[in-house]
Amino acid sequence: MTLEQSILKLVSAPGYRPIKPRTIAQRLKLPKDRAADVRKAVKRLVRDGRIAYSSNHLVTPVATTSDVAPRKRTSRGPTAPGTPPGKTPGKSAAKPSANRLLGVFQRTQKGFGFVRLRGDQSNTEQKDVYIPADRTADAATGDVVMVRVNRARQSSPGPRGEIVEIVERQTRQFVGTYFESAGAAYVRIDGTLFSRPISVGDPGAKNVQTDDKVVVEMLRFPSPLRDGEGVITEVLGPHGKPGVDTLSIIREFGLPDQFADDALEDARRRAERFDESIGGRLDLTDETIITIDPADARDFDDAISLELLDSGHWRLGVHIADLAHFVRPRSALDREAVERATSVYLPDRVLPMLPEVISNGLASLQPGKIRYTKTAIMEFTADGLRVSTELHSAAIRSKKRLAYEQVDEFLQEPDSFRRKLGAKVCDLLDRMHTLAMILRKRRMANGALELNMPEIKIDLDKSGKVTGAHLVENTVSHQMIEEFMLAANEAVADSLNERGIHFLRRIHQAPSPRKLKALTEFVAELGYKTGSLESRFELQKLLDQSADRPERHAVHFAVLRSLQRAIYSPEQEGHYALASKCYCHFTSPIRRYPDLTVHRLVDAVLKRAKPPSDFNALAVLGRHCSDCEQRAEVAERNLTKLKLVAYLGERIGEEMDAIVTGVESYGLFVAGIDLPAEGLVRVETLRDDTYRFDRASHTLSGHRAGNSFRLGDLLRVAVAGVDPQRREIDFRVVERGKRTEPKHKKSGRAAGKKRGKRR
């Protein structure tokens, strides 16, 4: 019986009286160090609507539908003592029923919002529920809510509803800018979550000054009928001071930036015990093994070896840092890794999943040093078909650390690198390039999708000040490593699957027919003729056709929006975008907790031990890791926007070449070509004509001949203004450029995945 099942059994038992999570741990006769696990399990059950919090953080069974009456107000006021940070105790959590459904709320800037329904709560394909502004109660974006669904109006494209309960607050902590007005103190919350400032009472105790960035704990969330109220809990520093923007994002998204003392001590003990002895491991220290990483990488978690056998087959070795050796289950290090679930890559710093003595030291596959690995050795036929897989606990000594740029240069002029790198390394690189292109061709033939989505990298000087930005190129060297990592992930997943072991897979479900229909209509308006996009090969054809056209970003982004989100789950589902029937993450345990769990299962297989087989616990862990991954991506994207806004805020009037990436009734979305900043040209600034929006063709057209804007148009724009609070950039058109004609050759570039160390 899983921990969650045990809690549910206790809470639903006859005669149960509400108690706190720590008392539940005692009732279940668990050791004291499991109390934290119980708290987390209770939070997950509350979030899923299976139990509830009452006053004073007592755990209660959920009420039946008839027990819950509509409330005039859904705010719960201050968090009850003992409530986990960011979670709101509820007096009851209604079960989903025919017209009461559980979902996540998203508020728009105009006040109304939508609820994305959770799970399978009906037999039909669900649409988001529209919530009018006066029916949103005091829900904030990201809150889990209970919504009463009403009959849709004839003019409405989908269901309408009203929020009847806030089941769980996503967070009560927000970041904003302090100011005073008419003798009262307020904080304007960053972003577009709240349209009105939040009253913060008397801030004197924190010695806060006007324009300081601060952290606010929300005491009363704003609603259509009243303003919000909060208290300042931390002063981050003056707006614009170096580092304050990064700290603001860390606090806004609740990113952990400090390790607990016992976790640091655990890491130090592991460091003291490590002696580089090989023991019973497979000794690969004499093999020609290399790492290829970004030039600024600090840790190296994957290395490659490759032989061409006399039979014409390939023998590929993918050697991954053996984190399972250092991070033991239920240790302090493991607790920290579970909680973080992923490393977070911000423009000016990394928030690692594990202390750097492990992630950048003992586990990092540094050249010339003996390091422990989990190794997958795969044999491929001459045309790239995998015919065998061996798994080992091994020891390696990397012969060379190479950067992507070096490998690209080598592939252009191999002879000039012979003396510098040595014959063995150069021969290895030649073999790697040949096999990688064979594997890549085979993947594409199987229907794998390659999305060309731009990834922005901020350029910083030594003091951390932004000096510009550029798009990360996905060169051949990136593709080489990517192919080998994909091959290893799939090989390990197949090995575990064949043994009937439950493990955290990386799954990506097929897109829904409804979204594919919308995608078909969108690309048809742009002039693309396609067959049924339910065929992955038609989707692949669409991506290829648009790869070199000016509207490619709009097309590829539309395809991305039509796809499901890849998640971690033990469910036996494949990976749609990769055209893989069985896939997991194995190759980045330094920065992803799911990879570490897979390493532990490989350990169990190699030791012929019985691996843990708790499907439900894996499902819960998968949801947690997926949520943390999404939080990290959104935080990184927001900080990148914030730094670009600050950079361009000092360059009002500066001109740049840009391309139209979106057209709406209120203006044009454009992206810089040399400086990849995205912003809006508002329609009211187009004063040379009166423009009307044509939704069918995605154009803004004026009355004068030739006055029109559409996706892919080249423009010369100037920075008109920035709004750091909302993280928005406004441009104005200076000159119309020539409309770029589509090219007829295939780009050959792969994209759609995180570059460098974030594969």
* C-alpha to C-alpha distance for 727 and 725, rounded to whole angstroms: 6
pLDDT tens, position by position, 52-62: 876 456 788 87
Task: Note whether residue 142 is domain-resident.
Answer: no
Q: Are residues 552 and 661 both part of a single domain?
A: no
Task: Note whether residue 222 is domain-resident.
Answer: yes
Do residues 591 and 605 make contact, with C-beta atoms less than 8 angstroms apart? no
Task: Note whether residue 584 is domain-resident.
Answer: yes
Give the residue ranges of DSSP H helices in 360-422.
Answer: 404-412, 418-421
Q: Are residues 585 and 460 both part of a single domain?
A: yes
pLDDT tens, position by position, 212-262: 999 999 999 998 888 999 999 999 999 888 889 999 999 999 999 999 999
User: What is the pLDDT confidence band of residue 97, given thresholds at 50, 70 and 90?
Assistant: low
Question: Among 20-29, 207-216, 429-438, which range has the highest average pLDDT?
Answer: 429-438
Q: Are residues 313 and 180 both part of a single domain?
A: no
In 3D, which of 654, 675, 662, 658 has the Cα closest to residue 719? 654
Q: Are residues 440 and 572 both part of a single domain?
A: yes
Task: Note whether residue 531 is domain-resident.
Answer: yes
Those residues with Cβ within 8 angstroms of residue 424's Cβ, 6 or more apart along the chain or in another chain = 288, 399
pLDDT tops 50 at residue 98: yes
Specify the higher pLDDT residue, 388 or 561: 388
Q: What mean pLDDT is reported for the chain?
A: 85
**How many other β-carbons are positioned within 10 Å of the β-carbon of residue 449?**
22
User: What is the pLDDT confidence band of residue 551, given thresholds at 50, 70 and 90?
Assistant: confident
Q: Are residues 605 and 627 both part of a single domain?
A: yes
pLDDT tops 50 at residue 753: no
pLDDT tens, position by position, 662-717: 899 999 999 998 888 999 999 999 988 999 998 777 789 998 887 889 888 889 99
Q: Are residues 408 and 291 both part of a single domain?
A: yes
Task: Note whether residue 192 is domain-resident.
Answer: yes
* C-alpha to C-alpha distance for 436 and 518, rounded to whole angstroms: 35
| Rounded (5°) CA angle 550-718-663 | 40
User: What is the pLDDT confidence band of residue 548, given thresholds at 50, 70 and 90?
Assistant: confident
Domain span at residue 669 reads 651-736
pLDDT tens, position by position, 351-386: 999 999 999 889 999 999 999 999 999 999 999 999
* Three-class SS state of 240: coil
What is residue 738's predicted lDDT score, i.e. its pLDDT? 53
pLDDT tens, position by position, 172-208: 899 999 999 888 999 999 988 888 899 998 777 678 9
Task: Note whether residue 625 is domain-resident.
Answer: yes
Environment class of residue 735 by beta-carbon count within 10 Å: exposed (0-12), middle (13-18) or buried (19+)? exposed
Task: Note whether residue 29 is domain-resident.
Answer: no
Q: Are residues 578 and 634 both part of a single domain?
A: yes
Q: Are residues 625 and 485 both part of a single domain?
A: yes
Q: Are residues 660 and 625 both part of a single domain?
A: no
Q: What CATH number should be reported for the domain holding residue 659?
A: 2.40.50.140
User: What is the pLDDT confidence band of residue 77, given thresholds at 50, 70 and 90?
Assistant: very low
Domain boundary among 615, 639, 663: 639
Mean pLDDT of 574-589: 95
pLDDT tops 50 at residue 71: no
What is residue 736's predicted lDDT score, i.e. its pLDDT? 84
What is residue 123's predicted lDDT score, i.e. its pLDDT? 39
Residues facing residue 729 across a β-bridge: 722
Q: Are residues 332 and 403 both part of a single domain?
A: yes
**How many other β-carbons are positioned within 10 Å of the β-carbon of residue 110?**
8
Q: What CATH number should be reported for the domain holding residue 192?
A: 2.40.50.700
Task: Note whether residue 435 is domain-resident.
Answer: yes
* C-alpha to C-alpha distance for 12 and 22, rounded to whole angstroms: 17
Q: Are residues 346 and 434 both part of a single domain?
A: yes
Those residues with Cβ within 8 angstroms of residue 750's Cβ, 6 or more apart along the chain or in another chain = 440, 450, 474, 478, 479, 482
pLDDT tens, position by position, 398-435: 999 999 999 999 999 998 888 889 999 999 999 999 99
**How many other β-carbons are positioned within 10 Å of the β-carbon of residue 430?**
15
Those residues with Cβ within 8 angstroms of residue 434's Cβ, 6 or more apart along the chain or in another chain = none
Secondary structure E strands in 282-383: 282-284, 290-293, 302-308, 314-321, 344-346, 349-351, 370-380
Q: Are residues 372 and 298 both part of a single domain?
A: yes
Choose the weakest-confidence range: 467-476, 528-537, 548-557.
548-557
**106-110: long-range contacts, CB 8 A cutoff, minimum separation 24:** 106/141, 106/142, 107/136, 107/139, 107/140, 107/141, 107/193, 109/192, 109/195
What is residue 89's predicted lDDT score, i.e. its pLDDT? 39
What is residue 408's predicted lDDT score, i.e. its pLDDT? 95
Number of domains in the chain: 4
Mean pLDDT of 645-671: 92
pLDDT tops 70 at residue 724: yes
pLDDT tops 90 at residue 550: no
